[in-house]
Structure 1
Amino acid sequence: MLNIADTLYRWCREARPFALATVIRVSGSAPLPPGTALAVDTHGEAVGSISGGCVEGAVYELCRQVLESGEPPVRAAFGYSDDDAFAVGLTCGGELEVLVQRIDPADQPHLTTALEQVPAGVPVSVAQVIDGPQRFLGRTLSVFGGGSAYDGTLGSRRVDRATASQARALLRAGRTARVEVGGDADTCPEKLTLLVHTQAAPPRMLIFGAVDFAAALSQAGRLLGYRVTVCDARPVFATAERFPHADEVVVGWPHRYLESAEVDARTAICVLTHDAKFDIPLLRMALDLPVGYIGAMGSRRTHEHRRERLREAGVPEEHLARLRSPIGLDLGAHTPEETAISITAEIIAHTRNGTGLPLSRVSGPIHGSVPAAQVSSTAPLLAA
């Protein structure tokens, strides 16, 4: 639902009831991930998409039905129709399941507060019951303040505490995911399945080396939703004017900057300096951090020399195995812009467990599953 938070917040402020259709399960080549939503208000206005167009009409009518009748939340599944490709179904060959529920803003004031946070970029999670006893279905609980507080209820204080704990963990990791609570005497005898919608701070891309390749890469990184930092020890090159797409430009020794930088499992570190006096202390530190991607520019000869220097500096082989060098996929890139695409393509493939091969040469779903620990709901990487 956070993909349409700005409109939902406006409807909540106007106390306008609406029907919310949320993707709660996908399989095969379904085009949009769980958590994506479509909503319809009392005037028939629709916002969002749950399939890229394949089943929008059927879901819209289901939303109107639930909204007008006031009936409890309903679940509906859609898949490809072999008999009639124009029938309601996913012509891409995948399957998806949606939960459709009526939302009355007055009944869930915490949801208005949560939706308000999204356009401002404030971290927030909303846990939504998508499976379990009918009386729980569709209930929500919101976690605010980086996880320090929560509001709303799923039915009992113990279930709320357990849910808030799960939502905090997902908020720290920047994940939208399904979780289960209950099913035991300590929380609730009935098991509930929740979809935790998360807006976390954008993942970081740290680019070291104020070179032309960095200018193109900072633009590509920003397009993918990263908060981009360019760092270089040379003040004549590390200027905001040279890197207008970077969120910040830092003048300083790379390893000293990295020493105090906030990083996590979604962080991408790109070393473009190919200068040993910068690279070795920087990579020695980077390879010991729990970041998602580490790549370094340079020729194969430079790479082998760099690996020897890092071994001499005490970097173990299992850490060296994390280094992507020469950086990027083999796209035949030459220009800085082409090289930036090569690098970001490798980051996407690494993050999504992709092969990097042409889709025409691989089998299976086009939209593969996403490693749970590496995805931001507000910064989805582009994938085929």
Structure 2
Amino acid sequence: MQKALPILNHIIREVQSARSLALCLIVATQGSTPQGPGAMMVVNSDSSIVGTIGGGCVEADIRRKAFFLVQSGGSDLVKIKLNHESAADNGLICGGSIEVAVMTLSESSFLQPFHGAVENLESGIPAELPVRVENNSQLIEYRLCIEPEPTLLIVGAGHISQELADLALKLEFKVTVIDNRSDFACDSRFPAPIETRAGDIVDELKKTIIDFSTYIVIVTRGHKHDYVALEAVIDSNARYIGMIGSRRKVHLIFKQLEESGTQAELLKKVHAPIGLPINAVTTCEIAFSIAAQLIQVRRASKVDVIQGPFDVLS
């Protein structure tokens, strides 16, 4: 699913500026489709769009229907079967069907759920957004469940970190790089939107909010720094902790941590040696193996992005 925050903020800005729009949300799919439930597109009052529900002639058809609703008001549940022609237009071999809830928004009074969702997501809390449409003269509600944007915390600002930070941005992570060397953790090596923080590694980690949407990659320049970084985060609520190093180095660090009082059970959640086993050699390949493991963990637990439909009592 594409980033939700920019789309939600766009909706709020447009409606507050007295410009009507339509939110188009895929609420159900069957078979092979270019986008799954939760994909969003906004059709503005000038017919321009923000976001995507898959492109091609299917998206164009939804866009036309949504633009009509923007002008006339109302809502609709649009059901489209992907035939050979529409699938080919997307460059894909799809033979499924999609249902798209199209809800128009024209008044600021409609925006309370959107403000609430934005506030939650900006605080790292999952959000739920109700989307109401009319279907066969009955008002129904779907609920879009949105996970907060994941944060990748990279400890160490070396060459692997540079490669990984770039990849993580493409994978829609917020990225922060920490190092105790100011000439490494700097904007010239990690340009915006990557955040860099130079300082004592443990102090910087203690200042960081770490929750279930946080992924931590430890790739410092040495055994000592890896040890203190892992010790600082081992009992955190991070969704992922990975540490670079040979099996021998990992064993030594784990042994030191256990001797200093860390429970062996906590160490089982650490991905070390880090990355998927793809025989990576170069810094770029190692970064790819780590990024692949982040994806694997992130997508391991499937959450129902769309709940409903529920009847809305009048």
TM-score by length of 2: 0.75
What is residue 41 of structure 2 aligned with on the other side?
38
The alpha-carbon distance between structure 1 residues 256 and 337, as it changes in their structure 2 partners (threshold 3 A), is: same
Provide the C-alpha distance between the structure 1 equivalents of 2:189 and 2:203, rounded to a whole number of angstroms.
22
Note if contact 1:25-1:34 (Cα within 8 Å) is conserved in structure 2.
yes
Question: What residue in structure 1 maps to residue 260 of structure 2?
Answer: 313
Q: In the TM superposition, what is the alpha-carbon distance from 1:14 to its structure 2 partner? A: 5.5
* Matched ranges for 1:1-384 at <5 A: 4=7, 8=11, 11-12=14-15, 15-26=18-29, 29-41=32-44, 43-53=46-56, 55-70=58-73, 72-81=74-83, 85-86=84-85, 91-103=93-105, 105=106, 107-109=107-109, 111=111, 126=114, 142-143=115-116, 146=119, 168=120, 172-175=123-126, 177=128, 193-196=141-144, 202-235=149-182, 237-244=184-191, 246-252=194-200, 254-273=201-220, 275-353=222-300, 369=302
Q: What's the CA shift for 1:61?
A: 3.5
Q: TM-score, length-normalised on structure 1?
A: 0.63
Q: Following TM superposition, by how much is the alpha carbon of 1:214 offset from its aligned partner in structure 2, in angstroms?
A: 1.8
Task: Judge which range, 255-264 or 91-100, deviates more.
Answer: 91-100
Cα separation, 2, equivalents of 1:213 and 1:326: 14
- CA distance in 2 between counterparts of 1:274 and 1:229 reads 17
Name the count of aligned residue pairs. 291
> C-alpha displacement at 1:346, in angstroms?
0.8
1:46 to partner: Cα distance: 4.5
Equivalent AA in structure 2 for residue 36 of structure 1:
A
The 2-side partners of 1:6 and 1:178 are apart by 13
Question: Any idea what SS the aligned residue of 1:207 has?
Answer: strand
1:175–1:34 CA distance, 2 compared to 1 (3 A)? farther
Aligned to 1:138: none
Instruction: Tell me: CA distance 1:338–1:64, structure 2 relative to 1, closer, same or farther (3 Å).
Output: same
Rounded to whole Å, the distance in 1 between the matches of 2:273 and 2:181 is 24
Instruction: Write the deviation string for residues 240-290 of structure 1: whole angstroms up to 9, x where unpaired.
Output: 4343354123221x2332222111111111111263322233213312111
What code does the residue aligned with 1:285 have? A
Alpha-carbon shift at residue 143 of structure 1 (Å): 1.6
1:48–1:216 Cα change, 3 Å: closer
* CA-based RMSD: 3.7
SS of 1:86's equivalent? helix
Find the aligned partners of 1:309 and 1:370 in 2 and give their Cα distance. 37
Task: Return closer, same or farther for 1:236/1:64 CA change in 2, 3 Å cut-off.
Answer: closer
CA distance in 2, matches of 1:333, 1:371: 34
Structure 1 residue runs of 5 or longer lacking an equivalent are 115-124, 127-141, 147-167, 181-190, 355-368, 373-384
Q: Where in structure 2 are there 5+ consecutive unaligned residues?
A: 132-138, 306-314
Change (3 A) 1:250 1:45: closer
The verdict on how the C-alpha distance between 1:256 and 1:93 changes in structure 2, with shifts beyond 3 A counting, is farther
Q: Which has the higher contact order (CA 8 A, sep 6+)?
A: 2
